[in-house]
Amino acid sequence: MKVIICGAGQVGWQIARHLSSEKNDVTVVDNNSELVARATDTLDVGGIAGNASYPDVLDRAGARDADMIIAATFSDEVNMVTCQVAHSVFKIPRKVARLRSQSYLDVIYSDLYQRDHLPIDIVISPEKEVAAQALRQLFMPATFDSEPFMGGKTEFIGLVLSEDCAVLHTPIRQLSELFSTLRATIVGIRREHKLSVPNRSEELLAGDQIYICVHSDDLTRTLEIFGKTNAKQERILIIGGGNVGLTVAKKLEAGSTRVHVKMIEANRECAERAADQLERSIVLHGDGLDMDLLEEANIEKTDSVLVVTNDDKTNLLAAARAKSMGCPLAVSLVNDPTLSNLREPLNIDAFVNPRATTVSSILRHIRHGRVRAVYSIGDAEAEVIEAQIMSSSPIAGKTIRDIVWPDGAVIGAIQKGDTVHRPSGDTKVEEGDIVVIFTLADTVTEVERLFQVNIDFF
């Protein structure tokens, strides 16, 4: 597949990294020659320095025979014009654009993105995706990661095992025997900063970060088995009143559960805008690191704090300070994946990574076969892929025991009709089934081959 990626920033570079590692023909375009050089020096990709919306630049990037273009520059307008040029001049069949401005995303203007107007096949909204991820994390405080699959019937969660966990030193095989009716599968373990797919004889240790695919109805029981509970969230403090913070606050106000929301925003104009748009939330103007202001916001009586300013260091410090002042749960937005190791030392409960969230959204529309959802783990270390089994799939009609799985992949859940099952060796994979597979980055291409022989974009 030949792909042009416009924008060599964090998201563009990460997408290029994914696709080039899977032997796709990738060309990166950016008007910043240093970013282009970074991509071409570190990845197996081509690079063109220039404005992505210029026809001659796209022509040099190989647009005449490209299969897909991904417009992920920092400018919404450049992304939209790029897709228009890609369609009108080069007839590129698949066009993806990242749009930030909420005005462009209003549902009443959805007709704008049609072939007769702006021919964009897929619109990705980072702020909406990140806000949704932040909300999930706030209401799943026992986890450090969570993502729904199979239309919400299955949850993919990450848990840190503490010293008082009752099932420490228990082999995974024995857990399946002890809790035979539990529809949950441990698919990944991060130990000493290394992520792997565990074998069934592996024992669980204190400090392990484990990833689990669990039936939504069994979520509470699964958390209890591993010594976790989801505390009720009634009082939430949001630090940062930009697009993400404001979207989260609006969703909380509109929710069926009564939640008391307070917001702290350093920019007066931004704070006033948030106060105008929110109905019940209290907006405070000031620095989220200010201890006096945090006390004024009753941080010690707050159930959780969500820090979503546009500066990673501010987010980390504000989340850590809130925890030190008595807030039981702190969730921080962090763009830089190299800072992920600071989560435990700073006593922060969970990170929300905008880059990983946006990358997951884009990958969902790139993967081969009938891929329904993709979720990127950590710094592109692994993916969780939900896909439908097709008749041409080499695993259709086989039992899981008879399928030769790549070493770095494991099936976490299987849906037959409307029913979700915990997979076992005797489970037969049939056409039409939906599967959730956890795969390390190195084995993504092999996993895709299990879904379908020929390329079929979904």
The pLDDT profile of the chain, 458 residues, written as one tens digit per residue, is 899 999 998 788 888 887 887 778 999 999 999 999 999 998 999 999 999 999 999 999 999 999 999 999 999 999 999 999 999 999 999 999 988 877 776 655 666 777 667 888 888 887 888 898 899 889 888 998 889 999 999 999 999 999 989 999 999 999 988 999 999 999 999 998 899 999 989 999 999 999 999 999 999 999 999 999 888 899 999 999 998 999 999 999 988 788 999 999 999 999 999 999 999 999 999 999 999 999 999 999 999 999 999 999 999 999 999 999 999 999 999 988 778 888 888 999 999 888 778 777 777 777 655 778 888 887 778 989 998 898 888 899 999 999 988 889 999 999 999 999 999 999 999 999 999 999 998 888 888 778 764 434 33
Rounded to an integer, what distance in angstroms lies between the CA atom of residue 319 and that of residue 327? 9
Which pairing describes strands 25-30 and 282-285: parallel, antiparallel, or unpaired?
unpaired
Which pairing describes strands 122-124 and 94-98: parallel, antiparallel, or unpaired?
parallel
Residues facing 305 on adjacent strands: 237, 330
The H-or-E segment that residue 70 falls in is strand 68-71
Which tens digits make up the pLDDT trace of 73-85? Answer: 999 999 999 999 9
User: Cα angle vertex 114, ends 108, 116, to 5°?
Assistant: 120
CATH class assigned to 358-451: alpha beta
Long-range pairs of 31-34 with CB within 8 A, sequence gap ≥ 24:
32/8
C-beta of residue 190 within 8 angstroms of C-beta of residue 341:
no
SS3 (DSSP) at 65: helix
Which tens digits make up the pLDDT trace of 250-303? Answer: 999 988 788 999 999 999 999 999 999 999 999 999 999 999 999 999 999 999
SS3 (DSSP) at 154: strand
**Token pair recorded at residue 75:** 């400018």
DSSP output for 401-437: GGS---TTEEEEEEEETTEEE---TTPEE-TT-EEEE
Residue 213, Ramachandran bin (φ over 0: left; ψ between -120 and 50: alpha; else beta): beta
Across the chain, mean pLDDT equals: 89
C-beta of residue 148 within 8 angstroms of C-beta of residue 116:
no
Neighbours of 425 (CB within 10 A): 9
Reply yes or no on domain 136-225 having CATH 3.50.50.60.
no
Reply yes or no on domain 232-352 having CATH 3.40.50.300.
no
CATH class assigned to 2-124: alpha beta
DSSP output for 176-210: HHHTTT--EEEEEEEETTEEEPPPTTPBP-TT-EE
What is the distance of C-alpha 35 from the center of its chain?
24
Q: For the chain, give every domain's residue range.
A: 2-124, 136-225, 232-352, 358-451
Domains 136-225 and 358-451 share a fold: yes
